[in-house]
Chains A and B, each alone.
Chain A
Amino acid sequence: MGIEKERLHFSWISSAEATKFVDVVKEVTRIVETVGPNHKLVKKISA
């Protein structure tokens, strides 16, 4: 649909896997940052 694949991530993380959660979030953030800010599928609501 035109959203960069870098922005979409799936993982299974159990509530007992706090360290995994942190690692995944860091990795996801690193990858998303490579494609920069998203301007697609964003609705601009003017004040």
Chain B
Amino acid sequence: MKKSISSLVSSKGRYPWPAEQFIWDNNCRINLANYLTDRKEKIGIIAKGCDSRNIVTHIVENKIKREQIHIIGVPCNGMIDKTKISSLFDREITGYSETGDTITIKTISDEKNIHKNEVLNSNCTTCTHRNPVIYDELVADLVEEQIIEDPFPDVRRIEEMTADEKWNHFEELLKNCIRCYACRNACPLCYCPTCFVDESGPQWVGKGQDTTDVRTFHYLRAYHCAGRCTDCGACVEACPMDINVRDFTRKLNKDSLEIYGWEAGLDETKRPPLDVYSPEDPNDFIKYAGHGIL
């Protein structure tokens, strides 16, 4: 028996029947770990590879306890990119269905079958942790992990730019940002009770559309995610302006991997590298070390 959403929302009790309404398809891009923050009750959660890494990060950061959650793991072979799909059509999309890896899209005048790999989300194309890293049960057999020789071609392209080219790249990237903060709100890592952009005493950053303020928001948010980001893509998914904010976090993911051999959310017993001190931490960015070096 189907019940209306309003009866679902207003009901105080919890029943198993709404679970029958759950749909899982190639569009389940958002990251449900975002809903675990500081919850006290026992929760069941469905998690793809990336989501499970954010759950691990939440556990490490004391945002939820392992024993509070029952994780239904989904071995994943990627989600699809809604922007790539809509760019294939001139008209508004009026119908969507999928059978296995074939996606069927309808517009008022057209119908096309597309293989999902042609329209994969860009974070999924380089994902090497498609299987959940922790789970209590699995809904399907584990999938084969991708071996990616060059996981950061996009970051390298930016690294190779001159300072001015980089500046222009980010200027262009953010030119349509309306500071709606949907990227931040969709990200499981951004759980600060008061985000620095909302703080008013002191006010760390202006609240308008000044490009310096817009950049400051994005740079600082990215740094707050350093060594914690799982490249789940929820931030990009949430952005109404189709801004690839992962251009910021991916550089930090690359650095975390190259400098600390670290990928976020793989181990419940380890804290992110910027959270811990080790005598082995590289410090070659310290110039003028020792005396008389100048």
A2 in contact (CB, < 8 A): yes
Inter-chain CA distance A10–B291, complex, in Å, is 15
Beta-carbon contact of B215 and A41 below 8 Å: yes
A11 in contact (CB, < 8 A): yes
**Which of B169, B212, B285, B287 counts the most chain A CB atoms within 10 A?**
B287
- From A3, which residue of chain B is reached at the shortest CB distance? B163
Inter-chain CA distance A23–B291, complex, in Å, is 10
Instruction: Give chain A's interface secondary structure class.
Output: loop
Beta-carbon contact of B169 and A20 below 8 Å: no
- From A40, which residue of chain B is reached at the shortest CB distance? B167
What is the total number of residues of chain B having a CB less than 8 Å from a CB of chain A?
A: 22
Beta-carbon contact of B287 and A10 below 8 Å: yes
Q: How far is the CB of B43 from chain A (nearest CB, A)?
A: 38
Write 25 A-B pairs (CB below 8 A) sorted by A numbering.
Answer: A1-B167, A1-B170, A1-B215, A1-B219, A2-B164, A2-B165, A2-B166, A2-B167, A2-B168, A3-B163, A4-B163, A9-B287, A9-B288, A11-B287, A11-B288, A11-B289, A12-B289, A13-B288, A17-B291, A20-B291, A27-B288, A27-B294, A41-B212, A41-B216, A43-B210
Taking A3-B167, A11-B288, A27-B288 as known contacts, 17 extra A-B pairs with beta carbons closer than 8 A to each other, sorted by chain A number, are A1-B166, A1-B215, A1-B219, A2-B165, A2-B169, A4-B163, A9-B287, A11-B286, A12-B289, A13-B288, A20-B291, A24-B288, A41-B212, A41-B215, A41-B216, A42-B212, A43-B210
